[in-house]
Amino acid sequence: MRAWVVDELAGIGALRLAEVAEAPPPGPAEATVEMVAVGLNYPDLLMLSGGYQHRPPLPFTPGMEGVGRVVAVGEGVAADLLGARVLVGARTGLLAERVTVPLAQLRPAPETLCDREAAGFTTGALTAHVALVARGGLAPGERLLVLGAGGGMGLAAVAMGAALGARVVAAASTPEKLAAARAAGAHETLLVDRAAPDLSSVKGQVDVVFDPVGGPFVMPALAALAWGGRYLVVGFVAGPPVAIPLNRVLIKGASVLGVRAGEAGRQDPEAGRRHLRAIDALAEAGRFRPHVGLEVPFAAAPQAFAAMAAGRLVGKAVISCDG
């Protein structure tokens, strides 16, 4: 079968489409899934150069989330799972035609989402839910500022904030990205320069900041917080982490909170399952739908990575596994 393989930590150029050994037969409490589509996330890109906190041993196959159909089940697994359309989650390994995984990494795909939406659903929605509900304590009517609001993670936070009843302010660098944010539920939009963002129009007016960007956004976003505001640190798309002056945090009575949705679920599995049930219910009710801005065939996977790296992607990139 085919899979994308990384043999060295040399960025996108190190991706290699290879014929690899077939996925192993499933054992007890396992299933083999024929992948239909895989959604890309920024950690997938970072792992190509060893820049993410999780560094899988070489060689490895990228891919954290996707959708597929069960084609084989292990001993003791109910046969009626065969043919089921399922969401698949992993730290790596999904950018392959077939995978064998524990049943704990599978769950039914929401019927309201098409395959490409389902492939790019879980990571963004789960991170947004853990960030805004568990970490940020976002309440209905509060003002939420989402940075990088045109990317897959940012659009997920916009949609989640709107679903939770917040007033969402979306900041992004192009009119196209802001239009996507409005479609996802943003109430206000801010067109910003990625190198020198101006957030002065909301200075001191924001209850929660959702920040997957970092870099030059940190100080303006900190200034945007109202008294008692919560700054959610989600990622560092703009570059290395920026130091936050603690006196600014003290003066505002603010909280700075790290968000690692996957690790939160590993540390507290029951809470992780609760968050997954919550996001699946939102999708089934039609209240959350990911925005897919790019879909490429399997053989063109590096194009999707390159679009994400260039910062020109609106929403999620998805790789179809049948082409």
User: pLDDT of 81-127, one tens digit each?
Assistant: 999 999 999 999 999 999 999 999 999 999 999 999 999 999 999 99
Say which amino acid occupies 290: P
Q: Which domains does the chain possess?
A: 2-121+290-320 (3.90.180.10), 123-262 (3.90.180.10)
Q: To 10 degrees, what angle do helices 152-163 and 122-129 make?
A: 50
The length of the chain is: 323
Q: To 10 degrees, what angle do helices 269-284 and 122-129 make?
A: 110
The whole-model pTM stands at: 0.93
pLDDT at position 240, please? 86
Residue 228: closest CA among 160, 136, 128: 136
pLDDT at position 126, please? 97
Tokens 């989650």 sit on residue: 89
Taking residues 63-82, what's their average pLDDT? Answer: 96
pLDDT at position 269, please? 94
CA of residue 148 relative to chain centroid, distance: 13
Indicate the average pLDDT of the chain: 96
pLDDT at position 238, please? 85
Q: What is the pLDDT of residues 221-270, one digit of tens each?
A: 999 999 999 999 999 988 888 999 999 999 999 999 999 999 999 999 99
CA angle 51, 192, 197 (to 5 degrees): 65
pLDDT at position 323, please? 62
Confidence of residue 53 (pLDDT cuts 50, 70, 90): confident
